[in-house]
Amino acid sequence: MASNSNTNTAADDDKEVAHDYGIVRVYKSGRVERPLMSPPAAAGLDPGTGVESKDVQLGDYSARLYLPPAAGKGKLPVIVYVHGGGFVAESVASPNGHRFLNRLTAACPALAVSVEYRLAPEHPLPAAYEDCVAALGWVLSASDPWVAEHGDLGRVFVVGDSAGANACHHLLVQPDGAVRLKGAVLIHPWFWGSEAVGEETRNPAWRAMGGRLWEFACPGSSGVDDARMNPMAPGAPGLGTLACERVMVCVAEGDFLRWRGRAYAEAVAAARGGDGVELVETEGEGHVFHLFKPDCDKAKEMFDRIIAFVNAP
């Protein structure tokens, strides 16, 4: 009887939800589901752009590299891309991100390296940050033949959306002063804080909800004013020392993170004396709309701004 009881309890735990954040669901048994994940897009030749991609395993993490048809006609800028998903979902094989990088690398043209970092809750933060730091170091070492032959390591950019933009900021505040990048593009960055900025909600319950996924992904965090979630918090690394020449921050009118992104851009500009910061605001669109509606006019406008930023002297 005890055996049957234990079996029934285990079966019930595998059905009962302990945590549900929409993009990730955890059952009492420990089983993890990511219900919104689309079937993965394989690496290989993209017929629409002519871009070739390949996956490289690098220990705890991996990377997907993208090489445009323009390779062989001179050294290319290198884009290190970090996908979003709240540090709990998505991957280098997510179809929307894969399509975005095929198009971006062809249009710039540029060589891209997309980081397949470890996800929470199986691997809580700082695992994802550690993987992104290691991936950037791997790119700068030119250990891969594509990077060695085609990449211009004097023109390295970090680009990310949502949680990926958060990770890009983390890369920019690393203490290794020997690393200085050409630029960073933070698209709809996932930052938050206990105190509202701009026209963010002042409702305490809603503000608490804004930090719940962060605290789930980073259980060792001090909360939403942890410097990794709130770069403007007291004691956070100085924004005037970001390890890149130029910064672009993209925000969207319909995104609840909009005001936080604007405040970040303004704080970076103030810390740098007003130089080297570009704010791109899109009206009438929501969070990471460019991934879901890549062919709409406003996505194309933002896309063109990113291309111009990468190709600027």
Query: Catalytic residues, which ones?
Result: 162, 255, 287
Separation CA 66–CA 71 (nearest Å) = 10
Task: Name the packing angle between helices 95-107 and 297-311 (round to 10°).
Answer: 50
Which residues, including other chains, have CB under 8 Å from residue 230's CB and lie 6 or more apart?
191, 192, 193, 194, 224, 236
Contact 89, 23 (CB under 8 A): yes
Separation CA 289–CA 296 (nearest Å) = 9
Strand order in the sheet with 52-58: 52-58, 61-67, 111-116, 76-82, 151-161, 181-187, 244-252, 277-282
SS3 call for 185: strand
What tokens were used for 152?
Answer: 């211009």
Count Cβ atoms below 10 Å from residue 5 Cβ, excluding itself: 9
Separation CA 79–CA 90 (nearest Å) = 19
- Side chain identity, residue 109: P
Separation CA 133–CA 206 (nearest Å) = 32
What tokens were used for 194?
Answer: 């206990």
Q: State the DSSP string of 128-163.
A: HHHHHHHHHHHHHTT-SHHHHHHEEEEEEEEEEETH
Q: Report the candidate in 218, 217, 226 with the shortest Cα–Cα distance to residue 191.
A: 226
Separation CA 105–CA 101 (nearest Å) = 6
